[in-house]
Amino acid sequence: MPRNRQPANCSRRPCATAGFTLVEMLLVVVILGILAAIVLPKFSGTTERGRVAAAQTQISTFKTALDAFEVDMGFYPKGKNGLNDLIQRPRDAQNWHGPYMQSDAIPKDPWGNDYVYQCPGQHNPSFYDLQSVGADGRAGTDDDICNWTT
C-alpha cells in the first residue's frame, strides 16, 4: 500500500463546511408545522375538558360545604353573597361551626370568574342555584356548569 494515499472521504479540494441547506431547513419547518396542527387541538380539547371537570368538582365541594352549613344553621346562606358565609361567621349566627371551606377566600372558577350563587334559587326554589358561567363569562349560554339539570 503506497504511503501517499489519502483516506477515501477526503478530496484534494477543500471540504465545504458542514451544515443544512435551505431546502432541508424548510422541510423540517413544514414537518413541525404539520405535527403542531395535529397535536395542539388535541391538547386544547383536553385542557377545556379538564377545566369543566374542575368546575364540576368545585361545585360539588360547595354543595358539601353548603349542606354542612344548612345542618348547623337550619337554612342555606341567603342572597348572592351567601358563599362568603361559608368562610366568615355571619352576624347573628349562634350555631355556625365553620369555616366550612378550607380556603381563606371563595375560589374562582377555572376560567377566573366568580361562581354565581343565588338562594333561594330560580331552578331550585327550596334550595339554591350555583353555577360557573364557563369560558365565555356569560350566564345562560351553553357552556355554563351548574347544580341543576335543564
In this predicted structure, what is the pLDDT of residue 84? Answer: 92
Q: What whole-number distance in Å separates Cα of residue 97 and Cα of residue 111? A: 31
For 136, the grid coordinates are: 365565555
How far is C-alpha 86 from the geometric centre of its chain's CA atoms?
23
Residue 88 to residues 27, 69, 98, 103, Cα–Cα distance (Å) = 61, 11, 8, 11
User: Strands of 145-146's sheet, edge to edge?
Assistant: 116-118, 129-132, 145-146
Whether pTM > 0.85 for this model: the answer is: no
Residue that the C-alpha cell 423540517 belongs to:
28
Residue that the C-alpha cell 374542575 belongs to:
54
Q: What whole-number distance in Å separates Cα of residue 13 and Cα of residue 59? A: 75
Per-residue HEC secondary structure of 86-114 comes to HCCCCCCCCCCCCCCCCCCCCCCCCCCCC
pLDDT block averages, 10 residues each, the chain of length 150:
57 63 85 81 75 90 92 88 89 86 89 91 86 87 82
In this predicted structure, what is the pLDDT of residue 3? Answer: 60
Other CB atoms within 10 A of residue 12 CB: 5
In this predicted structure, what is the pLDDT of residue 69? Answer: 92
